[in-house]
Amino acid sequence: MENSFDVAIIGGGINGTSIAYQLSKMGRKVIIIEKDQLACQASSAAAGMLAAQAEIEQDGPLFQLALKSQAMFPAITSELYEYSGIDIEYVNKGMFKIAETEAIANEVKMQVAFQRKWDPAIKWLDAKELQEMEPSLSPNVVGAMYLPNDGHVQPTKLTEAFAKAAVYFGAEIRENTEVLSFIFENGQVKGVKTTQGIIHSEQVVIATGAWAAKLMRESGLDISVYPVKGECFSIKTDKPIINTTIFSDKRCYLVPKRNGEIYIGATMVEHTFDNKVTPEGIATLIERASQLVPEIKEAAWERVWSGIRPQTADGLPYLGEHPHWKGLFVASGHFRNGILLSPITGKLVADLLAGRLLDESLLSAFQLERHKETIGLGG
């Protein structure tokens, strides 16, 4: 079994596979090391929303990164289908960011004015206009910001497509293989020790989501990635009751999928890796969702699930090289934006590793040592 590679990527989720795809396409010899199976954690639990302008409300590095990544999806959809044969189910029917009270409506209208700087097609719809487009919405909804260019994908299929396309270009995938520690020599990473033996590589990427902090402590770095559990459920209808993604500031969304399912989520339970689905969590979601779309109470119950998402102290992901160990990189902490940011994460991190990143300012806000007060450096 071959155990020497140009790049070893730890984590077979959405961002690990995206990075692997971009590096493999460059001709780099890449291995993905996954302790369980591909897309078995947050990548398969997400709803797949590409909500750059609904979830991120202020301009800044994360917002600009999200806009760039969102714009990549039409091309990446075709590209991945060509190399993997997998349809990632990219749907671009827009999104409504709902206002349920006059006070919230005033806030959302301000967001409309702000967001139109980047997308003039964004507009405010009053209750009557909203009812004409989505008759199943509750008449109690005051109005909504309409984002016609926000879409969604099937996240598990996107992860599998990145992985299969990476394999097309020569990448290797090892599942059920856990990384135990790093091998360092003279300030340089030289590989990793795993449950299946040593893998040699002078570039290693940690893309293990909420589990990144544990591995980083092995390198003497204490980064502020922590887990946030999200519970979701889905229903299925014989004919569509909504056509557009519905997003509420009450932390509830409804995403209509191609197969007739509507994904509804998500709760937020911080600082836990316990991924059990609770009656309380699902009951809360049912109450919130049925207030927006009463017809869901009559729909067929499909399934429940949960995922553990990686959050950081300042809400920004970590993308960059370890400050002490050359060749060791991190791509983690994407929280609710992992699916949205996966194309740009793959491209930027691959360019960084290959020495092709022309504008390093794109990653400056996401470097590992950006806030020393919450990051401890060890020896």
Domain boundaries, the chain: 7-58+155-223+314-377, 91-150+227-311
Instruction: Give per-residue pLDDT as tens, 30-65.
Output: 999 999 999 888 888 899 999 888 878 788 999 999
- Residue 305 burial (CB count, 10 A): 16
3-state secondary structure of 180: strand
Residue 377 in this model has a pLDDT that exceeds 60: no
Fold agreement between 7-58+155-223+314-377 and 91-150+227-311? no
Quote the CA–CA distance of 181 and 193 in Å, as a whole number: 5
Quote the CA–CA distance of 190 and 313 in Å, as a whole number: 30
Residue 374's pLDDT band (cuts 50, 70, 90): very low
Tell me the residue length of the chain: 379
Helix or strand (DSSP H, E) at 346? helix 338-353
> Across all residues in the chain, what is the average pLDDT?
93
Q: Which CATH superfamily is domain 7-58+155-223+314-377 in?
A: FAD/NAD(P)-binding domain (3.50.50.60)
Instruction: Give per-residue pLDDT as tens, 78-128.
Output: 999 999 999 999 999 999 999 999 999 999 999 999 999 999 999 999 999
Q: Which residues in 207-244 belong to E strands, given as ranges?
A: 221-222, 226-236
**Strand-pair partners of 41:** none
Question: Model-level pTM?
Answer: 0.95
- Looking only at the bridges linking them, the beta strands covering 172-174 and 30-33 are parallel
Helix axes 338-353, 155-168, angle to 10 degrees: 20
Helices (H), the chain: 14-25, 42-45, 52-55, 61-84, 102-115, 127-133, 155-168, 212-218, 279-292, 338-353, 361-364
- Residue 252 burial (CB count, 10 A): 22
Class of the CATH domain delimited by 91-150+227-311: alpha beta
Q: Which of 358, 363, 327, 371 has its CA nearest to residue 345?
A: 363
